[in-house]
């Protein structure tokens, strides 16, 4: 019964104090097919980062086999796609023109790191709401709502993308806490009693359940892994900053040694040129005195 409720195949409705169970069927969503950078993908959501890659065309039939598209992969690193209805198929080609520098670093932080952190928050919020709602859905309230079941604890979240921005308690539960399904069902559609809190305990035990990262991590493990990843990214960014700063300093030193001005060398050159000028001045003065002696002291004029 609980599994069928989680799958959405069974719904419980209370009318006039009588609990009534109805069955329903789930409608399978149609996948959107699109081409991105010469590769074909399938996606069940119109806004996504990951999609199912369709294998290449069969060389014999020249056709794609969409049923073999089972592997989910990131379409393009750091890009979230949003599909819109169009009359013809559209091929999307993305080219990153900026390859380095502060602009590329800012774009990488915005499009890769921040978006990946948001993805982690979305997974956490979506899994929390889905798992808690699945358990709470089969619980019974208390007081006047003892026979009431089929109430979500959180507001329903349709897709994982953007889940962290829409996570909120069910307004009906906020307005009427007696709707909180703390008691479990006795298997016959009736509550085990207002004093029973086994369903609330089951919800609390989800903290230790492996429901995240493809059912391989608990909420605590997921949070610890996320904080470790955050610290690792920050440490790597600081180390890269130090390395680039040191490299830039070495390049600047080499540039200055090649084309820069050394103040000490320039001062020595000035002193050297000044001493050379003084020496030349003395030489010219000596020559002038010698010519004056020869012309005026030794010639006819000097007699």
What are the sequence ranges of the domains in the chain? Answer: 2-28+120-209, 31-92, 264-295
Between CA 258 and CA 252 the distance in angstroms is: 10
Q: Which two tokens stand for residue 293?
A: 């002696």
Residue 185's beta-bridge partner residues? 191
Q: Residue 26 has what pLDDT?
A: 42
Between CA 82 and CA 116 the distance in angstroms is: 17
Q: Residue 27 has what pLDDT?
A: 44
Q: Residue 28 has what pLDDT?
A: 44
Q: Residue 21 has what pLDDT?
A: 60
Between CA 183 and CA 195 the distance in angstroms is: 8
How long a stretch of residues is the chain? 303
Q: What is the DSSP letter of 178?
A: G
Between CA 107 and CA 116 the distance in angstroms is: 13
Q: Residue 294 has what pLDDT?
A: 80
Q: What is the pTM of this model?
A: 0.56
Between CA 87 and CA 213 the distance in angstroms is: 37
Tokens 């900026």 correspond to 98
Tens place of pLDDT per residue across the chain (303 aa): 444 554 455 566 665 666 666 654 444 445 778 888 888 888 877 778 888 888 877 766 666 777 678 788 888 877 788 877 665 555 555 555 566 777 788 878 887 888 889 999 999 999 999 999 999 998 999 888 888 899 999 999 988 988 999 999 999 999 999 999 999 988 887 888 888 889 999 999 999 999 998 888 999 999 999 999 999 999 998 998 899 889 989 988 888 777 767 788 888 989 999 999 989 998 899 998 888 888 777 755 545
Tokens 């020559």 correspond to 287
The SS3 call for residue 20 is strand
Between CA 193 and CA 141 the distance in angstroms is: 9
For 216, phi then psi, to 5°, come to -120, -5
Between CA 282 and CA 278 the distance in angstroms is: 6
């Amino acid at each position: 019964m609980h599994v069928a409720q989680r799958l959405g195949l069974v719904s419980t409705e209370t009318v006039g104090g009588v609990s009534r169970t109805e069955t329903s069927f789930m409608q399978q969503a149609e996948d959107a097919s699109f081409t991105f950078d010469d590769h074909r993908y399938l996606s069940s959501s119109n806004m996504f980062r990951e999609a199912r890659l369709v294998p290449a065309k069969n060389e014999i039939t020249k056709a794609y086999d969409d049923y073999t598209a089972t592997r989910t992969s990131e379409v393009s690193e750091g890009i979230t796609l949003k599909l819109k209805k169009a009359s013809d198929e559209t091929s999307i080609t993305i080219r990153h023109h900026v390859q380095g520098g502060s602009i590329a670093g800012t774009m990488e932080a915005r499009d890769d790191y921040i978006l990946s952190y948001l993805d982690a928050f979305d997974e956490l919020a979506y899994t929390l709401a889905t798992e808690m709602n699945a358990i709470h859905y089969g619980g019974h309230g208390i007081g006047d709502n003892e026979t009431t079941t089929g109430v979500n604890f959180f507001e329903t979240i349709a897709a994982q993308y953007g889940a962290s921005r829409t996570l909120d308690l069910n307004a009906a539960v906020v307005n009427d806490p007696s709707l909180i399904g703390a008691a479990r069902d006795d298997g016959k559609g009736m509550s085990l009693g207002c004093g029973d809190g086994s369903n609330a305990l089951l919800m609390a035990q989800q903290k230790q359940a492996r429901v995240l990262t493809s059912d391989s991590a608990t909420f605590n493990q997921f949070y610890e892994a996320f904080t470790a990843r955050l610290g690792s990214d920050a440490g790597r960014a600081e180390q890269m900053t130090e390395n680039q700063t040191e490299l830039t300093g070495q390049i600047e030193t080499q540039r200055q040694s090649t084309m820069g001005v050394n103040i000490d060398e320039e001062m020595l050159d000035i002193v050297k040129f000044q001493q050379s000028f003084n020496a030349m001045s003395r030489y010219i003065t000596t020559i002038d005195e010698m010519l004056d002696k020869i012309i005026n002291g030794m010639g006819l004029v000097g007699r």
